[in-house]
Amino acid sequence: ISQCIASWKGALSNVSGVYLITDMKTGKLYVGSATGEGGIWQRWSEYALNGHGSNRELVALLSEKGKEYSDNFQYSVLEIADTHASSNDVLARESYWKDILCSREHGYNAN
């Protein structure tokens, strides 16, 4: 990641949680989660590498518009959890945020 600030990397590497990607061009949202080794930092690093983090809807979007379209994405943390929290707990909170933000109906979440 080009802006690797040690304090942010340390903090985000040590937490699991739910995050939001906002397409600043369209306003569409994508809610995702990160669990396990490397926490949110590791997950966001995947997005930095390819723009889509292997998410089906984002892969399709960037296939159509080009990888540079990911420059329109803004990343936010919605909720953090200890890296020892169960994956099921984090996934349940991810689903909660998808419902609240309607990211399945009006965003990039397919599930």
Q: What is the pTM of this model?
A: 0.89
Q: In sequence order, what DSSP letters do the residues of 6-32 get, joined into one string? A: HHHHHHHHTEEEEEEEEETTT--EEEE
**pLDDT tens digit sequence for 19-38:** 999 999 999 999 999 998 89
Residues 89-111 pLDDT 10s: 999 999 999 999 999 999 999 99
CA-nearest of 6, 50, 12, 55 to 30 is: 55
**Sheet strands side by side (includes 73-82):** 29-34, 15-23, 73-82
